[in-house]
Structure 1
């Protein structure tokens, strides 16, 4: 049974040393779990009983494609109009608690490990009808049309229902749980769960145009981010801009797992501010 780390907020004691692991560079940002305090939460219009940590958003000169929230919904909280942007698609991954999700009139119950894909223009509602807080990740991206493609359909699943796909020649020490078929070009973003068993590694510096968000769900490792080796653990978040080199050694006694976002399956945009 997998466990997923979820922040609790609060404030560190006045006796705590200020020195931490947070880093913001020209090629990556690293948010350790200790920065998920009460003072950096925010509220959202149209939501009740809800607060969130906004951990990624498009920023000029750094990244372009997505936003990611860590959401905390109190009992009875939620929204009947969650998404204000009609062109935005979304992905939800539940780390704790139970949620009631309505997608175009179809009702679903999501518990830990639950995943939902919400296409642009879908009518949806989300509420916590249980007696304890629910926590989940909400990833948003504008869906990019392409000739011959229609928006993907909404769906709900749970990671426990999906067999991880091992990477070749790794004896299963490195595997990916894929919520959508990689060959389905209607999807222009992939949200997956990557799992390394102890001793698993990325044995080369991945360097590519896709932007990444990586939230560590479980375990610990050392991660190569551009020129730096960084110790990471459950609850940390890494935000990698295009072309940031990356690699990984799973150094802990148990599995190292993270929720991964990347943009895929579209031509490069050739228009700029000079082409009007």
Structure 2
């Protein structure tokens, strides 16, 4: 089945609309529903032309600790020849609409819908929209944690449509994960995967673990158990879950429920909140 992805378009609700929505912000989790992603909350970045973005996660006390996540919207002819200002930042790009011309060390790659790129820190890259339609993609950034004796990961270009999902054992194929990086590759300190649930599939226990999560719903709808609450989510919503936030879900249908998942992995836990020098 060909993948489809929800992407925000902005705009504004009418004056006749109710003020209420499904936004939730707690110490353990947050839900940023698609209805909040309007024109008035967009941001702009230095050295990006004809581009705006929605910031849906950033390192912040009481919120995301390890990563930032943007939904980028690049108009015709827009993009950047100086996209990243932080030399320690690694990036994952995932295209949900349109086509990106990604150049890495002078070599151009085309990322169509479902296109994925992992860019290690210090990568010389540019990105532009050479098509007539708007380009929309997720940009997930994390400061890379180097380890003596372990190499930095290589650039990786892929498309989810070319990858066979890994099926969760004992689920009859109803729960699967599309992995762009081998989980045993210790060079990587973050994973960005796509999780798919067929209608009726469940996470049948409250996962409670050290990984911080960012989940953007690409398709469908479900009910998520977050901490002590049941929360309805649908395509276009974003969830942030802090480490050890209990989590489970039920995909009620009628179609597939799919989300783009960030998590931090493969590193020792720091033993000091503010390491001494």
Q: What TM-score, normalized to structure 2?
A: 0.98
User: Which residue of the partner structure matches residue 176 of structure 2?
Assistant: 175
SS in 2 for 1:201: coil
SS in 2 for 1:81: coil
In the alignment, the residues of structure 2 paired with residue 64 and residue 21 of structure 1 have an alpha-carbon distance, to the nearest angstrom, of 23
SS in 2 for 1:206: coil
Q: Note the C-alpha offset of 1:103.
A: 1.3
User: Which residue of the partner structure matches residue 139 of structure 1?
Assistant: 140
SS in 2 for 1:204: coil
Q: Note the C-alpha offset of 1:59.
A: 0.8
User: Which residue of the partner structure matches residue 188 of structure 1?
Assistant: 189
Q: Note the C-alpha offset of 1:221.
A: 0.5
User: Which residue of the partner structure matches residue 24 of structure 2?
Assistant: 23
Q: Cα–Cα, structure 1 residues 33 and 129, in superposed 2: closer, same or farther, change >3 Å?
A: same
Q: Note the C-alpha offset of 1:134.
A: 0.5
User: Which residue of the partner structure matches residue 44 of structure 2?
Assistant: 43
Q: Cα–Cα, structure 1 residues 252 and 46, in superposed 2: closer, same or farther, change >3 Å?
A: same
SS in 1 for 2:78: strand
Asked if 1 retains the 8 angstrom alpha-carbon contact of 2:97 and 2:113, the reply is yes
The reply on whether 1:214 has 2:197 as its aligned counterpart is no
Q: Note the C-alpha offset of 1:147.
A: 2.5
User: Which residue of the partner structure matches residue 4 of structure 2?
Assistant: 3
In the alignment, the residues of structure 2 paired with residue 13 and residue 272 of structure 1 have an alpha-carbon distance, to the nearest angstrom, of 45
SS in 2 for 1:238: strand
Q: Note the C-alpha offset of 1:274.
A: 6.9
The reply on whether 1:120 has 2:129 as its aligned counterpart is no
Asked if 2 retains the 8 angstrom alpha-carbon contact of 1:199 and 1:250, the reply is yes
SS in 2 for 1:257: strand
User: Which residue of the partner structure matches residue 200 of structure 2?
Assistant: 199
Deviation readout 1:161-213 (Å, 9 max, x if unpaired)? 10000001001100000000000000000000000001111000000111000
Q: Superposed, which structure 2 residues align to 1:89-100 within 5 Å? A: 89-100=90-101
In the alignment, the residues of structure 2 paired with residue 47 and residue 62 of structure 1 have an alpha-carbon distance, to the nearest angstrom, of 26
Unaligned runs of 5+ in 1: none
Q: Cα–Cα, structure 1 residues 274 and 110, in superposed 2: closer, same or farther, change >3 Å?
A: closer
Deviation readout 1:15-44 (Å, 9 max, x if unpaired)? 001111000011011011000000000110
Q: Note the C-alpha offset of 1:138.
A: 0.1
In the alignment, the residues of structure 2 paired with residue 106 and residue 189 of structure 1 have an alpha-carbon distance, to the nearest angstrom, of 25
In the alignment, the residues of structure 2 paired with residue 273 and residue 74 of structure 1 have an alpha-carbon distance, to the nearest angstrom, of 41
Moved over 4 A (4+): none
Deviation readout 1:85-115 (Å, 9 max, x if unpaired)? 0000000000000110011222100110000
In the alignment, the residues of structure 1 paired with residue 126 and residue 275 of structure 2 have an alpha-carbon distance, to the nearest angstrom, of 40
Q: Note the C-alpha offset of 1:271.
A: 2.7
In the alignment, the residues of structure 1 paired with residue 204 and residue 5 of structure 2 have an alpha-carbon distance, to the nearest angstrom, of 26
Q: Note the C-alpha offset of 1:155.
A: 1.4
Asked if 2 retains the 8 angstrom alpha-carbon contact of 1:203 and 1:248, the reply is yes
Asked if 2 retains the 8 angstrom alpha-carbon contact of 1:63 and 1:242, the reply is no
SS in 2 for 1:50: strand
> Aligned pair count?
276
User: Which residue of the partner structure matches residue 149 of structure 1?
Assistant: 150
In the alignment, the residues of structure 1 paired with residue 249 and residue 83 of structure 2 have an alpha-carbon distance, to the nearest angstrom, of 36
User: Which residue of the partner structure matches residue 271 of structure 1?
Assistant: 272
